Amino acid sequence: MPELPEVEIACRALRAWLEKTTIEKAAVIDARILDQGVSATSVVRRLAKRRILSVDRRGKWMRLVLDRGRVFSHLGMTGKWLLAPEPDSRLRFEKVRLDVTRGRTKRSVRYLDPRLFGRFVVSDEDIPAWTELGPDPLTDGIDVARFAERLRKRSLPIKAVLLDQTVLAGVGNIQATEALFFAGVDPRTPAQKIAQPKVTALARAIKRSIARTLAAHEGEEGPIAEYVSEGADNPFVIYGRGGDPCPKCKTALSKIMLAGRGTVFCRTCQGR
């Protein structure tokens, strides 16, 4: 379920469930979620009795800061954290389990991930995947001059560059698609060919799209929809709407593959 807005929602939940708790017991149900060569027993040992001081997020990564060491969680395509309804149930697709206490309150928090594209990393220090992230549009904002500087060096289509997590952290296929539409930029345009006013418009469009998606998630109670279907429950403006009329000009929206990802855009409204 994860791009920046969804991870932000997940992060807030983890903060409420885990911050200022003690891990009484951790369990790794499926070691394939760990990095190659890391054993479940070593992770379990390192987490036992650790205190979780804080939970934060950069882009699509979340970090639990412990009294000794850190945990990094990336949801991949289908990862999610849930509060177990019953402490002893085993949930479908469960990979990791954290049983925590805060005073007399006990909770069992689970990481689920059917496709196993997510990551769960325990480390003494911040990991490269975290430190190498670019600015987070929600928490850091976008410095347009620096953003333009990064785009100027890249010949790839702008959409491919937006998916580079060292340029901006947290922009995925949906946010890139939506933002390019809002800014009126053709996703195939080489990044370095985008004129300055369009770069400014794009920076603003990325923030607007993220804020819009976040607001949609804040408005719903309970878990976030897992899949975007093509139906009426699709909350996005053009993502998942290939073939439909453009919301601005009614031209049929095009759908192409770009950088290996499905890409929807309007050939009339999104010029090069």
Q: What share of the chain is helix, strand, coil (3-state, %, to 5)?
A: 30, 25, 45
Q: Is 60 marked active-site?
A: yes
Kindly give, in sequence order, each residue whose CB lies less than 8 Å from that of residue 248, ignoring residues fewer than 6 positions away.
266, 269
CB of 108 to DNA, least distance (A): 22
Q: Determine which one of 57, 60, 159, 198 is catalytic.
A: 60
Distances (CA, A) of 263 to 159, 198, 240, 258: 9, 19, 9, 6
Q: Which of 100/206 has CB closer to DNA? A: 206
Q: Map the footprint of DNA across residues 80-109, applying CB under 7 A.
A: none
Q: Which of 146, 262, 267, 271 binds DNA (CB under 7 A)?
A: 262
Shortest CA distance to 22 belongs to which of 72, 73, 79, 64?
Answer: 64
Cβ atoms of 218 and 182 within 8 Å: the answer is no
Binding track, positions 201-230, relative to DNA; x by CB under 7 A: ------------------------xxxxx-
Number of chain residues interacting with DNA (CB under 7 A) = 35
Q: Which of 67/226 has CB closer to DNA? A: 226
Beta strands in the chain (DSSP E): 21-28, 51-58, 61-66, 70-74, 80-83, 94-102, 105-112, 119-123, 254-258, 261-265
| CA 255 to centroid of chain Cα atoms | 23
* Span interacting with DNA, options 50-58, 104-112, 178-186, 257-265, rule CB under 7 A: 257-265
DSSP structure class, residue 241? -
Residue whose tokens read 């945990």 = 71
Q: Determine which one of 25, 46, 248, 261 is catalytic.
A: 261
Q: Which of 32/49 has CB closer to DNA? A: 32
Q: Map the footprint of DNA across residues 152-181, applying CB under 7 A.
A: 153-156, 160, 163, 165, 172-174
Q: State the residues that interact with DNA by CB under 7 A.
A: 1-3, 6, 32, 59-60, 74, 76-77, 114-117, 129, 153-156, 160, 163, 165, 172-174, 225-229, 257, 259-262
Instruction: Cite the active site residues.
Output: 2-3, 60, 261
